[in-house]
A and B are shown apart, each in its own frame.
Chain A
Amino acid sequence: QMQLQESGPGLVKPSETLSLTCTVSGGSISSSDYFWGWIRQPPGKGLEWIGHIFYSGSTYSNPSLKSRVTISVDTSENHFSLKLSSVTAADTAVYYCARTYNSHPYYFDSWGQGTLVTVSS
């Protein structure tokens, strides 16, 4: 069974770049069956889709974040990554990576456990 695991710094300073990695185990990130996504959840609030990527590198991002978001994939390491630039306190959230299907990318069926990122000086 495929599993996803987020990793990265738990504390980022304002105006800096948040960087997270999602490592996929139990399957290949190069599979043409899946897209790989990022979703976040501010403390006590709802879910916000950030973006997702295909193994070939094709990406889609939330227009509200697009100018600050970079999503990339490393097939040799079987992981994909998120960079969010110029962060502020509003970017404090639990960040989840998740999987959706290439053939029907309408929902996320497998999620990582999430990692809390706090933006603070």
Chain B
Amino acid sequence: EIVLTQSPGTLSLSPGERTTLSCRASQSVISSYFAWYQQKPGQAPRLLIYAASRRAPGIPDRFSGSGSGTDFSLTISRLEPEDFAMYYCQQYGSSLYSFGQGTKLEI
């Protein structure tokens, strides 16, 4: 099983700032099989990025994903108040899925 490790655990930032969240895999992941989700309290996760760098429909262009192999990142170019939430990375491989433990983005 591929283990995903996200860093940092918590990020404390202000609206308007730029930030990058990281996700490291224990083994190489095919880029097409890598995704990012946003989750707000009491809500289901929402798909942000799939195939490592492709924005899901309706996702603002301030969100961007990059990376390959074992290192992936999610960048938010200019934080809006609604962006403060939990973020999870996820990979698919050998018909299995695994998620990172999450990064909390707080004001």
Contacts and interface: CB of A to CB of B under 8 A. Distances in A.
Interface residues of A, number: 19
Interface residues of B, number: 25
B46 to A, nearest CB: 8
A60 interface: yes
Contact of B99 (A49, A109, A111, A112): A49
Interface stretch (B20-28, B66-74, B75-83, B88-96): B88-96
A96 B44 contact: yes
Given A46-B99, A47-B88, A62-B96, A111 B50 contact: no
Interface in A29-80: 46-49, 60, 62-63
Contacts of B44: 96, 98, 111-114
Contacts of A113: 43-44
Contact of A46 (B34, B46, B50, B88): B88
Nearest to B56: A109
A107 B99 contact: no
Most buried by B among A47, A49, A60, A62: A47
Interface in A92-121: 96, 98, 104-109, 111-114
A101 to B, nearest CB: 10
30 contacts: A46-B102, A47-B37, A47-B45, A47-B88, A48-B99, A49-B96, A49-B97, A49-B99, A60-B96, A62-B96, A63-B96, A96-B44, A96-B45, A98-B44, A104-B32, A106-B32, A106-B33, A106-B34, A106-B35, A106-B92, A107-B35, A107-B47, A108-B45, A108-B47, A109-B47, A109-B50, A109-B56, A111-B44, A113-B43, A114-B44
Contacts of B100: 46
